[in-house]
Amino acid sequence: MIDKLQAGEPAAKAFRRVLDGLLDTYAVNDGVSADAYCATPQWHAMAEGQYLQAVTEAARCAMISKPSALQLLEAGCERLAAGANQRARGDFAQWGLGFAFKNAPADEPYLITSALVTCALADVVNSFPELELATDLLSEAVLGLERFDGAPWSGLDIKAPIPFFSPHIREHVDNTICVWALALHQAASIDGRPSPGVVESVARHILTRRTPETGWAYSASEHVYDLVHQSYIIEGLAGILGPETVENQAIETFSLFKSGEGYIDTVRASNIEHAIDSVIRSSIVDLTFRGGQAMMMRRTGARLWSLGASLACMGSFALNGANPAFWRATIRRFPLDGLRTLAGKDFRQEMHLARGLALCLRALRENGNSIQQTDSMLSGINS
């Protein structure tokens, strides 16, 4: 459980305290936890990717020393190498959930997991090129992304095959494709190469698919808007096309999920009759309108990975956007007081939060906040 904020405690200090606790817990447990979709404790590739990026960001702003960061990152890369769902060493690597989900087996590779891991590895290699295992895994991860089956995407101006969500879920999902494109873009930049031509075409196509005043529906078949996947898309588009392309849309989209002192997780498009009936039947459903569309909002708090992914976007815009003062103000007002963690029980969610906190801390530090370096993230590793 995250302690309540101390009266008058600066945001940077509070964020730092929470981040240290999250990363310490992850390292001591070697990334093993249960999951919202699987009660059996195990290691999770998606959590590992977010952890690697959180450690990298902490090192970039001197919250953790370089030798300590290298030790933590090397251990994380070793777990990634050992835990790949599919891996031909020196050839390709793919990652998935590691447990059966819907009709897919436990060893199913997922595009979203593999793409997020690829982004993380590119982040690590960019800051720590001396980590040979990270460099090797990045090359394998890019080749793994190329092995996902796909087909031309309706509306896209080029006919290249765009990968499906997974071998068993043969559907184009906007947020997943956006992270895939970002992964290819970041990996290419490491080698000083231009991004594959499909990357910018995909990003611009996704930009046009945004519902005005709202955001991006999960898919063509699910008119659901949830905070974590909005954040994936916003970060992907900003990374590929530049933050100025999507910053105003980000402000508008995040405002949809702001509720009182906190954030909600999901809104669902609906016809007005169904929305009214839902409000009557449920005490936690509210009705709002965006762009003339009825939207049902559940008055339940956002999940940790939703909060973490949105914080990552806010931190990135504070560092690179056109309105850094706005984003820093938003970060400082973030409702950390009363925020609950799952005490090491769901690292996929907690490490999203850790990465978001680390990016926000870097943004606050570069604005003049003092953040003391510590190696507390190593506690318990050598004991």
Tokens (6 digits) for 285: 């459903």
In a domain, 261, yes or no: yes
Burial of 91 per CB tally in 10 Å (0-12, 13-18, 19+): exposed
Confidence of residue 335 (pLDDT cuts 50, 70, 90): confident
Sheet strands (E) in the chain: 32-35, 38-43, 86-88, 92-94, 150-151, 162-163, 224-226, 258-259, 262-263, 266-270, 285-290, 293-298
Confidence of residue 376 (pLDDT cuts 50, 70, 90): very low
The pLDDT of residue 341: 60
Task: Encode burial over 214-249: b for 16+ CB neighbours within 10 A, e otherwise.
Answer: bbbbbbeeebebbbbbbbbbbbbbbbbbebeebbeb
In a domain, 274, yes or no: no
pTM, to two decimals: 0.92
In a domain, 282, yes or no: no
Q: What is the pLDDT of residues 236-250, one digit of tens each?
A: 999 999 999 999 999
Top mean pLDDT of 53-62, 212-221, 284-293 is at: 53-62
pLDDT for 352 beyond 60: yes
**Is the torsion defined by CA of 38, 41, 42, 48 positive or negative?**
positive
Residues 6+ apart with CB under 8 A from 295: 214, 225, 256, 267, 268, 269, 270, 275, 287, 288, 289
Q: What is the pLDDT of residues 186-216, one digit of tens each?
A: 999 998 888 888 999 999 999 999 998 899 9
Q: Which of 104, 86, 92, 95 minimizes the C-alpha distance to 31?
A: 95
- Cα separations (Å) of 214 from 68, 284, 296, 369? 42, 21, 12, 34
The pLDDT of residue 6: 54
In a domain, 70, yes or no: yes
Cα–Cα dist 233/267, whole Å: 16
- At 97, is the secondary structure helix, strand, or coil? coil
pLDDT for 370 beyond 50: no
Q: What is the pLDDT of residues 160-184, one digit of tens each?
A: 999 999 999 999 999 999 999 999 9
Count of domains for the chain: 1
Over range 110-131, report the average pLDDT: 98
In a domain, 286, yes or no: no
The pLDDT of residue 381: 39
Q: Which of 137, 159, 140 minimizes the C-alpha distance to 73?
A: 137
Q: What CATH number corresponds to the domain at position 148?
A: 1.50.10.10
The pLDDT of residue 299: 81
Host domain of residue 329: 11-265+301-378
Strand partners, 268: 224, 296
What sections of 242-346 are H helices per DSSP? Answer: 247-257, 272-281, 304-320, 324-332
Residue-averaged pLDDT of the chain: 90
